[in-house]
């Protein structure tokens, strides 16, 4: 999951795309969904800044003539993009790594403990490849829709909405709902990550302080202590003021992970001492944790929209393939050797397995805790932006400032309250991965491709695209249901034991 989700996607946050009025050709009547909904993105999306992250609204209103549903081969959306500071392929590659490499890598050994050493090795590569392929689907469909509707760029929610408007008539009326659903799951996912960050920071700090304090404080008290300063830090509305915190977080995280590797690769036991595969009932926790760690689909469209050469993002070779290939390899490496090192004693974050009495290990726990603490403000920025854009027009101008500050304080307290109620990293990580990222990372992209390819160019010979996407949707639904069920069972067991 993202560590610095904003750092690569906010370069064009003040740029605006010229508004184009919506209209119909001569003698044309609106057609589509319920109430004559037009089959292009709504006019109330006009004159909105380019997104800071996926899910934000773009000015994507266009004119079209009747029957003009086919892709225009002469229109190149990349030539019409107005990005103030476009990123090179290398910069996008680095941003993709920063957006995908985060606290999730520390949970990979725990994921392997719910799969087994050898099954986890194969399954991590399989799930990672599947996630990468679904990103390909999303970006490719975005390019098709941009050409078809003569739109320079789209965010994640924009692609979903336009795909439903272009798809079968039965889907047209659900276009506003799919936009709402994508943004809702993005908000839940990012706020859920913020809750996980609070638990992570509090757990690591509590371990270190416990060594030097005679009086022990519960993890819930530490979560409240950590939440207090974040209330004030999250009142900062300008992203550039958060950039120094992002730099500090990246440095501390890198140093902390390197030192963790030193501990992890010392005195490694033989692989035969670890189970190669575990009970199938534990696999849902593995799935939820891995997809939480690997899935960076929330930042993909923002990175692609900011590129100098967007066509280099997907394909073979491509920025996405190289970036995700490296991410999958690193996550598999950490998961494999972390579980090999600690076996059944593996905890929800590999840092919690480091020796408490060792000063260097204590410094690692604190460095990574501080890095995640600073990352909270960056991760928090995206859901606040999405929610505020939906509320801003409903509030009188003179009350907008105090209302936005109130929203920010409320969301921080909400994250703190949820973290206090559910202070167990393992099932929490799996729950967020299963609920949000199986939906956004697999079910939604597959559904989008079915809608985009409905008439032109079709589902291919033997309807192979239909069968393929149906399989992806089924896999996502099974992961959603099974991961959610097992995570809830884990939480119930924790509360039943009075822990």
Backbone angles phi, psi at 84, to 5 degrees: -65, -45
- 36 burial via Cβ count (<10 Å: 0-12, 13-18, 19+): exposed
Tokens 């923002």 locate to 302
CA 337 → CA 52, 261, 312, distances in Å? 36, 9, 33
The count of other CB atoms within 10 Å of the CB of residue 369 is 24
How many Å apart are CA 183 and CA 204, to the nearest integer?
32
Return the DSSP state at 436.
I
In this predicted structure, what is the pLDDT of residue 16?
36
Distance CA 219, CA 205 (A): 9
Rounded to the nearest angstrom, the gap between the alpha carbon of residue 80 and the centroid of all alpha carbons in its chain is 27
The residues facing 33 across adjacent strands are 37
DSSP 316: S
Secondary structure class of 216 (helix, strand, coil): coil
- The per-residue pLDDT for 10 is 39
Question: Which H or E element spans position 391?
Answer: helix 359-391
Q: What is the pLDDT of residue 70?
A: 53
- CA 282: distance to chain centroid? 24
Domains of the chain and any CATH numbers: 103-498 (1.10.4160)
Q: Is residue 249 a contact partner of residue 5, using CB atoms and an 8 Å limit?
A: no
Q: In whole angstroms, what separates CA 497 from the centre of its chain?
A: 33
Closest CA to 227 of 420, 490, 30: 420
Structure tokens at 396: 């009188």
* Exposure on the CB side of residue 210, measured as CA atoms within 13 A: 16
Two structure tokens written together for 182: 């994508």
**Residues 450 and 469 sit within 8 Å (Cβ to Cβ):** yes
d(CA 364, CA 345): 19
Report CA-CA distances (Å) from 274 to 50, 79, 279, 333.
49, 54, 14, 16
| Beta-carbon-side half-sphere exposure of residue 298 (alpha carbons within 13 Å) | 36
pTM: 0.79
Q: Supply the pLDDT for residue 39.
A: 55
Task: List residues bridging with 307 in a β-sheet.
Answer: 87
Q: Please give the pLDDT value at position 353.
A: 92
Classify burial at 393, counting beta carbons within 10 Å of its beta carbon; exposed 0-12, middle 13-18, buried 19 or more: exposed
Give residue for tokens 């060594």: 211
- Judge contact between 318 and 206, C-beta under 8 A: no
What contacts 107, CB < 8 A, 6 or more positions away?
Answer: 289, 292, 293, 348, 349, 350, 425, 426, 429
350, 168 contact by CB (below 8 A): no
Give the pLDDT of residue 141.
93
Q: Are 389 and 225 in contact (CB under 8 A)?
A: no
243, 202, 235: which is closest to 10 by C-alpha? 243
d(CA 282, CA 433) in angstroms, rounded, equals 15
Q: Write the burial class of residue 266 (CB in 10 Å: 0-12 exposed, 13-18 middle, 19+ buried).
A: exposed
CA distances from 268 to 261, 339, 364 (A): 12, 10, 20
What's the pLDDT at 59?
35
- Per-10-residue mean pLDDT, the chain, length 499: 40 36 40 47 36 35 42 75 84 80 84 95 93 92 91 91 92 93 90 90 91 85 95 85 80 89 90 93 90 76 85 86 90 94 91 90 92 86 87 90 94 94 83 86 94 87 92 93 87 70
């Amino acid at each position: 999951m993202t560590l610095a989700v904003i750092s690569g996607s906010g370069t064009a946050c003040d740029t605006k795309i010229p508004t184009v009025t919506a209209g119909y050709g001569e003698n044309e009547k609106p057609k589509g969904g319920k109430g004559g909904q037009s089959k292009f993105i709504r006019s109330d999306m006009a004159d909105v800044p380019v997104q800071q992250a996926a899910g934000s609204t773009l000015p994507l209103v266009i004119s079209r003539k009747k029957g003009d549903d086919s892709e225009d081969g002469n229109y190149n959306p990349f030539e019409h993009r107005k990005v103030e500071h476009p990123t090179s392929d290398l910069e996008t590659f680095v941003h993709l790594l920063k957006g995908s490499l985060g606290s999730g890598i520390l949970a990979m050994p725990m994921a392997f403990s719910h799969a087994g050493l050898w099954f986890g090795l194969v399954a991590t590569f399989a799930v990672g490849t599947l996630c990468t392929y679904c990103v390909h689907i999303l970006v490719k469909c975005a390019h098709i829709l941009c050409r078809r509707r003569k739109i320079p760029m789209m965010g994640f929610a924009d692609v979903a909405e336009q795909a439903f408007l272009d798809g079968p008539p039965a889907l047209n009326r659900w276009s506003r709902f799919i936009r709402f659903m994508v943004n809702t799951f993005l908000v839940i996912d990012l706020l859920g990550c913020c809750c996980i960050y609070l638990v992570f920071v509090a757990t690591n700090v509590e371990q270190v302080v416990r060594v030097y304090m005679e009086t022990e404080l519960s993890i819930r008290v530490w979560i409240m202590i950590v939440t207090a300063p974040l209330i004030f830090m999250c009142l900062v509305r300008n992203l550039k003021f958060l950039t120094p915190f992002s730099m500090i977080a990246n440095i501390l995280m890198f140093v902390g992970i390197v030192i963790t590797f030193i501990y992890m690769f010392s005195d490694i036991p033989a692989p035969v001492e670890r189970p190669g595969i575990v009970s199938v009932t534990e696999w849902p926790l593995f799935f939820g944790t891995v997809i939480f760690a690997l899935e960076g689909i929330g930042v993909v469209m923002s990175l692609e929209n900011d590129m100098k050469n967007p066509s280099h993002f997907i394909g073979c070779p491509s920025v996405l393939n190289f970036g995700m290939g490296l991410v999958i390899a690193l996550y598999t490496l950490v998961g494999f050797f972390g579980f090999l090192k600690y076996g059944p004693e593996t905890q929800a974050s590999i840092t919690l397995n480091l020796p408490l009495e060792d000063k260097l290990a204590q410094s690692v726990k604190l460095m990574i805790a501080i890095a995640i603490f600073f990352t909270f403000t960056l991760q928090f920025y995206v859901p606040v932006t999405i929610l505020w854009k939906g509320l801003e027009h409903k509030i009188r101008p003179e009350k907008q400032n105090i209302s936005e500050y109130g929203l920010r304080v409320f969301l921080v307290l909400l994250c703190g309250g949820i973290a206090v109620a559910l202070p167990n990293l393992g099932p929490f990580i799996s729950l967020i991965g299963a609920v949000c990222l199986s939906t956004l990372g697999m079910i939604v992209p597959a559904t989008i491709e079915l809608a985009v390819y409905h008439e032109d160019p079709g589902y291919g010979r033997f309807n192979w695209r239909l069968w393929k996407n149906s399989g992806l949707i089924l896999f996502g639904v099974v992961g959603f249901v099974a991961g959610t069920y097992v995570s809830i069972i884990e939480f119930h067991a924790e509360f039943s034991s009075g822990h």
